[in-house]
């Protein structure tokens, strides 16, 4: 298995998502856990559990795929571990809705 690939319950994926990446992507996109649940079809309780994890997500491959696709669809770009730590950043051309979301607690 190459360093940039991960193993998630029986399948190899390009980027092995971590709890840190999940939390970071959601924060950067200004998405509440409930909104991510609606976008991904993954329950809020599962999202909360996965966000508490440090390191690779311990979840069914379908769950991880759903979360990754939902976050990427909103503008997140996941970067594999490449001699350092895995990361997340926003795409250069994020969807306009990212710029119009309000931060939690801001009127």
| The pLDDT of residue 91 | 86
Contact 69, 42 (CB under 8 A): no
Architecture of domain 6-92: Orthogonal Bundle (1.10)
The pTM of the full predicted model, rounded to 2 decimals, is 0.75
* The pLDDT value given to residue 4: 33
Spatial neighbors of 82 by CB under 8 A, at least 6 apart, are 3, 4
Counting Cα atoms < 13 Å in the Cβ hemisphere of 40 gives: 27
Reported as a single tens digit per residue, the pLDDT across 6-54 is 444 443 345 679 999 999 999 999 999 999 999 999 999 999 999 999 9
What is the distance between the alpha carbons of residues 42 and 97, in angstroms, rounded to a whole number? 21
Domain boundaries, the chain: 6-92
Q: Give the span between the Cα atoms of 102 and 107, in whole angstroms.
A: 8
């Amino acid at each position: 298995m190459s360093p940039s690939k991960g193993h998630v319950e029986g399948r190899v994926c390009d980027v092995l998502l971590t709890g840190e990446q999940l939390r970071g992507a959601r924060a950067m996109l200004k998405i509440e856990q409930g909104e991510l649940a609606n976008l991904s079809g993954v329950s809020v309780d599962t999202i909360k559990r996965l966000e508490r994890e440090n390191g690779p997500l311990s979840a069914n491959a379908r769950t991880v795929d759903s979360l990754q696709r939902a976050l990427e669809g909103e503008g997140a770009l996941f970067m594999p571990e490449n001699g350092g730590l895995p990361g997340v950043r926003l795409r250069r051309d994020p969807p306009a809705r990212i710029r119009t979301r309000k931060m939690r607690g801001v009127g």
